[in-house]
Amino acid sequence: MNKYLDVSPEVQAALAAGKPIVALESTIISHGMPYPKNVETALLVEQTIRDNGAVPATIAVIGGRLKAGLTHEEIEYLGKTGRGVAKASRRDLPALIARKADGATTVATTMIIAHLAGIKIFATGGIGGVHRGAEVTMDISADLEELAQTPVMVVCAGAKSILDLGLTLEYLETKGVPVIGYGTEELPAFYTRQSGFGVDYRVDSPEELAAMFRAQRDLDYKGGMLVTNPIPEQYSMDKAVIDAAIDRALKEAEEAGVKGKEVTPFLLAKVVELTGGDSLESNIQLVLNNARLAARTAAELNK
């Protein structure tokens, strides 16, 4: 086991017993939602995973230690500190470790730490991707590169709808990352169930998802697998409303000179503001939906 890694007693016991485990990111706690809703949601997602037959492992960097499995107190700390905790991607881990600093893990970093701990499945809200205008800015999330090189299944509600979804799919295709639609042949777009873009394969059961991932691992591919799970119908938002909010948020971000790792949290917070909080409730429900699917798939994978 990596010398910088701390695995919680609950997750250690699950690994030793061969129980299904689902990793969870922590950027959604510190940068994705306001306090106390972020803490309430994090604990609810953990409980949802337990209710569906798996053990949750929320991941973060605390005091320079890579943590697989957090206590309630650690989750509360991340939620209260909010954006005072660094948003940690792959490039940030060496500095955070050396400085004994804290970091909330993105999709990329959660995949890295989950893999170090031996956890194969990870549930999140939406992945990062190719940003709009990336042909000029080269703003492409490290999440995509991590999917290309780290063997973890990521269950999400698609790429965040603030992104260029077409270019994100093209990038994943180039990197050989299979994009699976759960119960759909169309890529979900985070807040909405449709995007107008197709996925590589449709799968209709956790059993088939587990079989596909098992085959990928048996082939010794170095990359991961992306499972896109549409937001439940009753929580899906009107595409025109979301698109209008995103367009306005993008304009405000440009006017404010927001760049780099601050772009995504700025845009998501602005969309929540512009939709009167409706997008926050949708965000919570899609994460719970992904947690259920990830737990059931992890249980099948462990059979």
- How far is the C-alpha of 164 from the C-alpha of 180, rounded, in Å? 18
CA nearest neighbour of 26 among 114, 97, 100, 94: 114
Mark 196-223 as b/e (b = at least 16 C-beta within 10 Å): ebebbeebeebebbbebbeebeeeebeb
Q: Catalytic residue numbers? A: 25, 160
Residue 145 burial (CB < 10 Å; 0-12/13-18/19+)?
middle
Q: What tokens appear for 32 in the block? A: 């994705």
Closest CA to 123 of 300, 297, 303, 301: 297
User: 89: closest CA among 113, 70, 73?
Assistant: 113
| CA 73 to the chain's CA centroid | 22
Alpha carbon 281 to chain centroid, angstroms? 17
66 contacts 4 by C-beta, under 8 angstroms: yes
CB-based contacts of 251, cutoff 8 Å, min separation 6: none
Angle CA 147–91–144, to nearest 5:
20
Query: Which residues have a Cβ under 8 Å from the Cβ of 209 and sit 6 or more positions away?
Result: 153, 180, 182, 203, 227, 293, 297, 300
